[in-house]
Amino acid sequence: MPSPHTTNRPDKPTANQLRYLRQLANRAGQTFTYPTTKHQASAEIRRLKKLAEDSRLEREVERDRLQREVELPADAAAYREDEVTGHGAGAHWTHHPDERPAPTAGAERKLASYELPDGTERALFAQRIRGRVAISDRPTSGHGRVYLVERHVHSQDEMDALIAHYIADSVDRGEPAVLVPTNPELGR
């Protein structure tokens, strides 16, 4: 009686080999081309077994990184789900005006000023928003566009380096550096 895992072609990889190959690839975070022979399947299994399995910490770090990438800054005028109850015409605020939650943004702090070649004066500001530090660029005169430079600065050293580089780029380019894409062919 033939084995349930054999096929008409004796050289074709077995179902067990293919299943094990998929498990190893998933565990290692790898992709593979389906083998056409048992020998190719065995070679691919050996290759994937040699790869170190992702540690639990590495997977957690990657999951956190991906979650941060999809988090977008909230619209300041948008309401949150916990602020409204009910639907349609029956919807109403869950808090009374004097009971609304405290704002999630802290006070702004001016970090540095700079002047563009055309005489326009601009400044960089830092503000803690929902526990994260955001850097914005705005005109000192109060008239003009405000730009978000960075929405999550991790440390003081990173902020200092960002400010120095941003101001130098802005002055060299003649406009806020956030407006001009970096072009490696032009040396920018």
Tell which residue, 45, 52, 61, 57, has the closest CA to residue 29: 52
Q: SS3 breakdown of the chain: % helix, strand, coil, rounded to 5? A: 40, 20, 40
Residue 89 is predicted with a pLDDT of 77
- Is the model's pLDDT at 121 over the cut of 70? yes
Which of these ranges, 75-79, 167-171, 172-176, has the smallest mean pLDDT? 75-79
Say if pTM beats, i.e. exceeds, 0.75: no
Average pLDDT over residues 11-26: 88
Residue 8 is predicted with a pLDDT of 55
Report residue 16's pLDDT band, with 50, 70 and 90 as the boundaries: very high
Task: Out of 1-5, 140-144, 145-149, give the one with best mean pLDDT.
Answer: 145-149
Tell which residue, 125, 122, 108, has the closest CA to residue 159: 125
Alpha carbon 170 to chain centroid, angstroms: 25
Report residue 157's pLDDT band, with 50, 70 and 90 as the boundaries: confident
Residue 185 is predicted with a pLDDT of 60
Share of the chain above pLDDT 90, in %: 19
Alpha carbon 145 to chain centroid, angstroms: 25
Q: Which long-range contacts (CB under 8 A, 24 or more apart) does 18-21 make?
A: 20/45, 21/45, 21/48
Report residue 9's pLDDT band, with 50, 70 and 90 as the boundaries: low
Question: What strands, in cross-sheet order, belong to the sheet with 121-129?
Answer: 105-115, 121-129, 132-139, 147-153
- Is the model's pLDDT at 123 over the cut of 90? yes
Residue 108 is predicted with a pLDDT of 85
Residue 77 is predicted with a pLDDT of 62
Angstrom distances, CA of residue 16 to CA of 3, 23, 24, 54: 12, 11, 12, 23
Mean pLDDT of the chain, nearest integer:
78
